[in-house]
Amino acid sequence: MNVLIRDLEDETVEALKRRASERNRSLQAELKAIVEEAASQEWSKTWAAADRIFEELRRSGQKFSDTTELLREDRER
């Protein structure tokens, strides 16, 4: 998939070109790496938050019912 970013400041583009050069990458390769890293970090944060919630619930000692039967009933409607 191709993505287009418009109206970047000249200073921003120059900074990105320097960054790409420092990493021996083309500007396109550097931008791709930046976007992919940002996207993967978002998922990491999401899973980390879910893990924290799960751990808090586990430590609370509260018992939660198994909803499998309720889900099956709902799907069969």
Dump the DSSP string for 21-55.
HHTT--HHHHHHHHHHHHHHHHHHHHHHHHHHHHH
> Is 80 exceeded by the pLDDT of residue 42?
no
| Total count of domains within the chain | 1
Cα–Cα dist 77/11, whole Å = 59
In a domain, 17, yes or no: no
In a domain, 40, yes or no: yes
Residue 39 belongs to domain spanning: 34-60
Average pLDDT (21-46) is 91
In a domain, 76, yes or no: no
In a domain, 23, yes or no: no
Q: What pLDDT does residue 75 have?
A: 92
In a domain, 71, yes or no: no
The amino acid sitting at 11 is: E
Q: What pLDDT does residue 18 have?
A: 97
